[in-house]
Every structure is written in structure tokens, then in C-alpha cells.
């Protein structure tokens, strides 16, 4: 019995390790691709924030990011590390949370019935000038197609991805989007770049638990929301994105 369990573990482990590749392959051949055609949602957008990238030059320092060197599968090489059960006692510099007024319309979606990913796609499809994307796992083909279509409409796309989940990962769509014209950078200044959010035209934010993957779209319990036309909120996300962008490494 013990030998049987060991053999099963050896078979199952690689499958989980390459789950992104499986997701990508299933999506490309149409499995779990959904039975209903999604109708694009049109949202009008006002002018892009004139200062959308003003924080870029100082964002890295302001956010306290570390300059590190990505070492492939060896992973994070920052100056500090923490155990999950370690209590820092509240020491060190901690930025205060920011409160902004709720304005505009809020759209929410939940998976596993695909509506969470549809909210993210609505934000991409509504973009007219700029789209900034922060992604951890990044393998969803529907999302890739929507971003490519946005670039063909003239939308300027910037993408920040987690290094370990995307560099040298065949399933990641980051490289293909870079080849299609997106500006892509990867970050390794923390153990994970675990963000999943979108900033559209400097005024709309999409964010939630859902990675841009097929599993998040179809299998997992996930959420995603869009705060339409809330510039004050978008400015906060823009400052965070610009900090990561300034400290990121160009896609190679």
C-alpha cells in the first residue's frame, strides 16, 4: 500500500506543477471554453489622467521596493525573509491604508460560473487608450485574445507579472503579449507579486482574487470587481503599479 501511494504521488505531482500548461492546452482546444458567446459590454470613458505615469520615477522608492536580481527557479533574493508564523510585533515602517470615495458603478462577478473572468474582460474591452495589468498566474487564452484586440484598437498596454510564475514558463501568455506589442516587465522584489488587477484609461479599476487562468475562470471559487470611472481609486492603484514598473525587469 505504501509503495502504491508513493507511485501515485510521483504521477500526480508533475501534473500539479504543470497545471498552467494543462489549463492553456485545454483552452486552446476548446474544452471548458463555455457554451454561450459573450457579448462585449460598452462603457464610455473620459480623458485619460494626464499624470498617469507621474509617480513612475519615484514609485519604487516611495513604496519601499527592493532592488534584487532574479535567479530563475532559485527564486526570491531579497534582503529579508519571514516565516508564516512569525510576528514582527508591528515594528518597522507601515504605510497607512487609504480611503477614497465610492463613485461610479461597481460591477461584480463570481466563479466558478465564469462571471468573475467576464468582469475582467469587460474592463479590457472597454479600454480606449491605456490598460495596465498586474498578474500573478497568467495563462488564460480568452484574456490574451481580449488584450491583443485592445492593442489593435490602439490601446497602450503595460503588464507587470510575477517572475517565478511567468519567466521560462511555456504556459504564460506574457511572452506572446510582449511579441504582440505590449510592454511587459517581471518583478522579483518580493517572494510573490500576487496582485491581480487592471487599470483602464486611468479611471477604472478591476481587481479580485481571480488569477487570469482557466482554473480561476471555470473551476475555482473566485471573485472580481470593476469600479467604473473612479479616478481617485485608480490613482492609488496607478501609484502601486508605477512602483512595480519602475523596479521591474524588461521581458526578455
Dump pLDDT digits (tens) for 114-134: 799 999 999 999 999 999 999
> Torsion angle of alpha carbons 29, 31, 33, 36, nearest 10°?
110
Global confidence as pTM: 0.70
Three cell numbers written together for 146: 481580449
Q: Parse the chain into domains and list their residue ranges.
A: 114-248
Three cell numbers written together for 195: 496582485
Looking at per-residue pLDDT, the higher value among 216 and 19 belongs to 216
pLDDT exceeds 70 at position 178: yes
- The mean pLDDT value for 212-218 works out to 93
Q: What is the DSSP letter of 242?
A: H
- The mean pLDDT value for 232-237 works out to 97
- For residue 112, cis peptide bond before it (omega within 30 degrees of 0): yes
pLDDT bracket for residue 57 (50, 70, 90): very low
What rounded mean pLDDT belongs to the chain? Answer: 77
Q: Tell me what percent of the residues of the chain surpass a pLDDT of 70.
A: 62
Closest CA to 174 of 212, 150, 145, 138: 138
- 147-185 as b/e: b if 16+ CB within 10 A: bbebbeeebbbbbbbbbbbbbebebbbbbebbeeebbbb
Task: Give the CATH number of domain 114-248.
Answer: 3.30.870.10
Amino acid at each position: 500500500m505504501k509503495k502504491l501511494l508513493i507511485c501515485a504521488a510521483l504521477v500526480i505531482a508533475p501534473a500539479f506543477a504543470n497545471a498552467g500548461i494543462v489549463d492553456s492546452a485545454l483552452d486552446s482546444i476548446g474544452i471548458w471554453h463555455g457554451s454561450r458567446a459573450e457579448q462585449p459590454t460598452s462603457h464610455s470613458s473620459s480623458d485619460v489622467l494626464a499624470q498617469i505615469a507621474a509617480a513612475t520615477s519615484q514609485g519604487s522608492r516611495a513604496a519601499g521596493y527592493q532592488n534584487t536580481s532574479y535567479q530563475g527557479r532559485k527564486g526570491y533574493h531579497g534582503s529579508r525573509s519571514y516565516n508564516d508564523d512569525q510576528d514582527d510585533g508591528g515594528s518597522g515602517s507601515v504605510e497607512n491604508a487609504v480611503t477614497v470615495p465610492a463613485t461610479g458603478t461597481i460591477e461584480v462577478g463570481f466563479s466558478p460560473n465564469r462571471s468573475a473572468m467576464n468582469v475582467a474582460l469587460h474592463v479590457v474591452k472597454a479600454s480606449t487608450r491605456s490598460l495596465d495589468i498586474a498578474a500573478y498566474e497568467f495563462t488564460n487564452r480568452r484574456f490574451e485574445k481580449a488584450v491583443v484586440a485592445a492593442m489593435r484598437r490602439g490601446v497602450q498596454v503595460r503588464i507587470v507579472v510575477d517572475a517565478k510564475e511567468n519567466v521560462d514558463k511555456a504556459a504564460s501568455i506574457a511572452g506572446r503579449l510582449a511579441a504582440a506589442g505590449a510592454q511587459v516587465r517581471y518583478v522579483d522584489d518580493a517572494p510573490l507579486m500576487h496582485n491581480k488587477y487592471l487599470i483602464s484609461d486611468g479611471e477604472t479599476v478591476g481587481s479580485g482574487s481571480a488569477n487570469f487562468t482557466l482554473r480561476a475562470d471555470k473551476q475555482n471559487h473566485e471573485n472580481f470587481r470593476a469600479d467604473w470611472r473612479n479616478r481617485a481609486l485608480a490613482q492609488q492603484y496607478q501609484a502601486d503599479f508605477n512602483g512595480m514598473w519602475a523596479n521591474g525587469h524588461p521581458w526578455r
